[in-house]
Amino acid sequence: MSTATVANLPRISGEKLANLIRTKTPGISIIDVRDSDYVGGHILGCQNVPTHTHDHRMPELVRTLRNQDTIVFHCALSQQRGPSSALRYLRERERMSARGELGIREDVEDIEKAQKVVVLEGGFAKWQEAYGSDTELTEGYVKDLWDESW
């Protein structure tokens, strides 16, 4: 069983993620778990998987992303929803793998080496401060919605 906890999940800086996006590094998926606060901008190419959909969407997400090298989760601040969603993803991936639902049977260490799951430091609030107006990195950005709101 995985030893991952919300407290020990690895983090990725906005700067490092921006560089990966700019260089079009393959094998990276960004999962934005914000609900209604998704309005006003998002990281280019991310998938919006709101937390209220996780009960039925998490197995689908694990199957869809099983061949990706790195999965980046985030919410507005990456303090609760983002890390909790990343942990939920890890546990679902482990459960599905143990049951052979991913077409592979690996032990936990092999799974963890094959796919890195990280949380974006500071979430979208911090991201938009640095990259909100950068159309190479952010889509649908509405600056007025973020001014003094976080």
Closest CA to 140 of 40, 14, 36, 21: 40
- Residues with a catalytic annotation lie at 75
Chain position carrying tokens 């998704």: 38
Alpha-carbon gap, residue 59 to 95, rounded angstroms: 10
Helix axes 123-131, 14-22, angle to 10 degrees: 60
